[in-house]
C-alpha cells in the first residue's frame, strides 16, 4: 500500500478526531463566553473575572475530553497506520478494526501518554548539545538560531512520540515501557534515515499555516467587527485592573481594532493547529511511520543499545530502569 492509500483508508479517524476537537473548542469558547456575560450582568460587573473562570472550567473539560476520547481515537488510527505500513494491507473496515485493535489495551495506551513525557524529556536533554551552537554564537543571531533549532526539535519529537505509539502497539508481547525505550533507540540509531522527511514536515506545515491559518484569521476578524462593544468593555476592564495596581497600558493595546486583530490571529493559529494535526499531519506521519517501523523491524534494539543510551541520557536510564524493577 502507498502512503496515500494508508492515509485515505484511515481518514475516518481524522474526521472523527476533528469533530471531537471542534467540540472541545466549542466547549472552551462556550465556557469563556458564558463566564463573561454572566459576570457582566452581575451588580459588580466583573466580566474579566467571569471570563477567566470560564476559561479555567473550559480547560478542565477539554483535558477530560482529550484523555477519554481524543487519545483513544489517535491510538486506533495509529494502530491501523502501523498495520498498513508493516503488513501492506488493511481490513475492509479499518475504522471498526482500529478500535478492536486497542480494545483491552487501555493500560498500554495510558502508559504511552505517560511515557511520551519521559521521551520528550530525553530529547530535550540530548538536544541541549545542539543548542550550544546558538549559545556559542551569542547575541540576537545566536538566540534566533537556538530558538529555531528548539522549535524544529520539538516538532520532530511529536512525530517520534506517535511513531513510538505505533511501535508499542506493534510490539504486543512487550510491555509499554520497554517498547517505548526501543522506540527512542530506533530514532537515535536511524536518525539520518528518518530525517529525510524533515523537508516535507516543515514545507507542508508552512503551506497549511498560510492557507488555513490565514483564512480563519480573516473570518474571525470579520465576526469580531460585528461585536465591537464586547471588546471595548474587555479592554476597559483590563486597563482598569492594570492601572489600579500601578501599571500602565500601552496605547496600542487600548485600540479596539488591534485587540480584534490580535485575538483573531490567536484564533486562526488555534484552528490551524486543529485542522493541520487532524487532516494534514496524518499524511506526513504515514511516511515517517513507514520509515520508522522498517528501521525498527530490521534492527530491533537490544539491551546493549539501551546501555549505550543510558550513558547519554539520565532520563532514558530512569525509564529503562523503571520496567526492569
pLDDT at site 156: 76
C-alpha cell at 247: 501599571
pLDDT at site 293: 92
Q: Which of 88, 110, 90, 106 is nearest to 98 (CA)?
A: 90
DSSP string, 101-164: HHTT-HHHHHHHHHHHHHHHHHHHHHHHHHHHHHHHH-HHHHHHHHHHHHHHHHHHHHHHHHHH
From residue 255, how far is each of 227, 241, 261 by CA, in Å?
Answer: 15, 17, 10
pLDDT averaged over 10-residue windows placed end to end, the chain, 325 residues: 93 91 90 83 68 89 85 91 94 91 74 70 60 49 59 76 88 83 81 68 84 91 86 78 70 77 90 86 90 90 84 78 68
pLDDT at site 134: 46
C-alpha cell at 261: 486583530
pLDDT at site 219: 92
pLDDT at site 194: 64
Count the Cβ atoms, other than its own, within 10 Å of residue 311: 9
Amino acid at each position: 500500500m502507498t502512503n496515500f492509500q494508508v492515509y485515505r483508508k484511515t481518514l475516518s479517524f481524522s474526521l472523527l478526531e476533528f469533530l471531537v476537537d471542534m467540540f472541545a473548542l466549542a466547549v472552551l469558547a462556550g465556557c469563556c463566553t458564558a463566564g463573561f456575560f454572566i459576570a457582566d450582568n452581575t451588580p459588580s460587573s466583573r466580566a474579566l473575572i467571569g471570563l477567566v473562570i470560564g476559561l479555567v472550567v473550559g480547560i478542565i473539560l477539554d483535558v477530560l475530553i482529550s484523555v477519554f476520547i481524543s487519545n483513544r481515537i489517535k491510538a486506533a488510527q495509529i494502530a491501523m497506520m502501523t498495520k498498513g505500513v508493516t503488513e501492506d494491507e488493511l481490513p475492509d473496515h479499518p475504522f471498526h478494526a482500529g478500535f478492536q485493535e486497542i480494545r483491552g489495551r487501555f493500560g498500554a495506551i495510558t502508559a504511552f501518554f505517560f511515557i511520551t513525557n519521559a521521551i520528550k524529556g530525553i530529547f530535550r536533554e540530548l538536544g541541549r548539545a545542539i543548542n550550544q551552537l546558538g549559545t556559542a554564537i551569542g547575541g540576537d543571531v545566536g538566540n534566533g538560531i537556538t530558538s529555531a533549532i528548539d522549535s524544529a526539535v520539538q516538532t520532530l519529537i511529536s512525530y517520534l512520540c506517535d511513531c513510538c505509539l505505533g511501535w508499542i502497539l506493534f510490539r504486543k508481547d512487550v510491555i509499554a515501557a520497554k517498547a517505548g525505550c526501543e522506540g527512542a533507540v530506533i530514532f537515535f540509531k536511524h536518525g539520518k534515515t528518518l530525517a529525510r522527511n524533515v523537508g516535507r514536515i516543515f514545507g507542508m506545515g508552512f503551506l497549511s499555516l498560510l492557507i488555513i491559518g490565514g483564512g480563519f484569521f480573516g473570518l474571525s476578524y470579520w465576526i469580531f467587527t460585528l461585536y465591537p462593544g464586547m471588546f471595548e468593555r474587555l479592554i476597559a476592564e483590563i486597563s482598569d485592573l492594570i492601572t489600579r495596581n500601578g501599571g500602565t497600558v500601552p496605547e496600542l493595546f487600548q485600540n479596539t481594532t488591534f485587540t480584534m486583530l490580535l485575538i483573531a490571529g490567536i484564533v486562526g493559529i488555534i484552528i490551524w493547529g486543529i485542522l493541520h494535526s487532524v487532516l494534514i499531519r496524518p499524511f506526513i506521519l504515514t511516511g515517517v511511520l513507514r520509515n520508522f517501523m522498517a528501521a525498527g523491524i530490521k534492527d530491533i534494539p537490544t539491551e546493549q543499545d539501551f546501555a549505550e543510551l543510558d550513558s547519554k541520557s539520565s532520563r532514558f536510564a530512569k525509564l529503562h530502569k523503571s520496567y526492569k524493577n
